[in-house]
Chains A and B, each alone.
Chain A
C-alpha cells in the first residue's frame, strides 16, 4: 500500500514538473556525467546562457579551461570537450571529476559572492 502511494505521489510530481511553463529541455540541462552513474545526489540543473548572463562571463575558458603540460593555457579553451575527458571519475587524475565540478562551481561562486554554495542549493532533493 505504502509503495503504491509513494509511486502515485511521484507520478503526480512528475506531471506537475512536465506541465510547468517555460521549462524546456533546451533551456535547462542536467549536469549528469555518465561517469557518475549511479549518482548518489540529484544531477544539477544548469542553464548555460542564463548562468553566463547572470555572471557576466564572456570568455569561454573562464569555465572551459585548458591545460598544457600541467599549466593553465590562458589563451586556449576546451569548448566541446567533456569534463570527464580529462578529469577521471575514479580518482586517477589529479583532480577527479567530482572535485572538478565542485571546485569549479562553488569555488567561483564563493569567490564572486554570487550563485549557490550550499550542497542542497545545487543538488535538489529528488
Chain B
C-alpha cells in the first residue's frame, strides 16, 4: 500500500495538477482563439463595467430574482461551492503536506470547521442527487454523465472524511481520497465541471449584451 501511496501522492499528483492547470489553460486559450475566429461579437460587445455588474449580481446570494424564487437551492448552492473550493485549499492536512514538500504554508482551517464543510459538500451532493431524481425539470435533462459527475465530486469529500477520522481501512481510504481528488481535478477542464472555467466568461458576455447593448438587467 505504501508503494501505491507514494505513487498516487507523488508522480500521479504531479500529473493531475499538470493536467488540471495545463488542461484548463488549453481549454480557455482554445476557446478564446475559436471565438476570435467564429464569435467576434463576444469580444466586440464585451464591456468590463456590465460584465462585472452581472458577475456581482450572480455572486451574491439572493441578488437575482431566480435566487430569491428558490431560497433552499440558493443556500445549498452557495454553501456547496464555498465549501467545495475552500475546504481543500485550507484543510490542515493539505497545508502541511504542501509545507513538508515545498517549505511553504498558509493558515489552515480549524479541524471541526473543515470537517463540517466536508459534510456540507457531501450533504449538498445528496441534495442535488435527490433534486435530479425528484424534480421533473431536472430529471428530464439528466443523463448518466450528470450522476457520474456528482459522484466524482462527492467521492474525495466522502473518502477525505473517512480518512481523517480513520474510519474503515485508513490506508485504503487515504489512497482512494487522493485518487478521487486527482480524478476530480483532471475532470474539471474536460467535463461539464468546466463551468468552473467558463462561467465567468458566459456571465460576462451575457451581462455585457444585456447591459451595454440592451440596457436591461440580467438578474
Contacts and interface: CB of A to CB of B under 8 A. Distances in A.
Touching chains A and B, CB distance < 8 Å: yes
Interface residues of B, number: 19
B99 interface: yes
Interface stretch (A2-10, A22-30, A116-124): A116-124
A95 B100 CA distance: 9
Nearest to B171: A118
B5 A118 contact: yes
A95 B6 contact: no
B100 A118 contact: no
Interface in B165-201: 165-166, 170-171, 174
A119 B93 contact: yes
A120 B92 CA distance: 13
Contacts of A121: 170-171
Contacts of B38: none
A44 interface: no
A103 B92 contact: no
Interface in A83-100: 95, 98-99
B96 A125 contact: no
B92 to A, nearest CB: 6
Contact of B166 (A98, A99, A102, A120): A120
Nearest to A110: B6
Given A110-B6, A124-B166, A118 B174 contact: yes
A120 B170 contact: yes
B111 interface: yes
A120 to B, nearest CB: 5
Contacts of B214: none
5 contacts: A41-B92, A110-B6, A118-B171, A120-B170, A125-B166
Interface of A: 40-41, 95, 98-99, 102-103, 106, 110, 113, 117-121, 124-125
